Structure 1
Amino acid sequence: GAAPVAQGALGSSQLAQRPAWAAEPKLHAANGAAATRLLKPELQVCVFCRNNKEAVALYTTHILKGPDGRVLCPVLRRYTCPLCGASGDNAHTIKYCPLSKVPPPPAARPPPRSARDGLPGKKLR
């Protein structure tokens, strides 16, 4: 029979799950999400259009912003912010306007929970 193959620290099942581009450092962008967008164009989704209930045929043709931060979404690019007049490369909604008094929500994490939001379990006093 075949002798068992020695496994590295990752193990064969974890190694197989790594994306192909992970082995090529020169392809990595500064952030993983940007690298995924750049290397998997078939998966591009504009979150602005998707959240605004645009057609799948539209929101899968582009992404909201490029790796340099410029707005790429054609819908948002046409919008002019009523607070500061920005549009095109720097377009944004009122919620994200630098002149707005309400800060935008944090991009990567959910808002903090207040007093466990009525979840079952121990009550905070």
Structure 2
Amino acid sequence: MNLIESLQINVPRMTSDTTCIAKMNLNEFHKQPQGYLNGGATLAFAEIIAGMMSNELVGSHKFGVGQSVTANHLRPVTCEGTLTALGTLLVKGKTSHVWRFDMIDDAQRLISQVTVTLAIVDFDR
């Protein structure tokens, strides 16, 4: 089992040239000891989606690798239902991409905002 399967991330999809959406089903696996969503799961969710979406955009000879992930966790959420990531590609350079994700709970509340920077590298590197 890989991290995508463990986190229960559904396949993300581009909704325009610069936006995407993805969902993560929440359960006991995502809990911190106090019972709320672990911030690390949210960060991993964002970095995985950013990489997958950038890989769609750069073609078959390049791929994105994480350089930086920063977040502001704005409210606690219990680990039930679905966390939705609404992504916006802020920078689409030749050597880097920057994504911003609004993490939304089932009640349409903003839970976290995450920014992911990826280096775009050649496969033969």
TM-score (norm 2): 0.23
- Higher strand proportion: 2
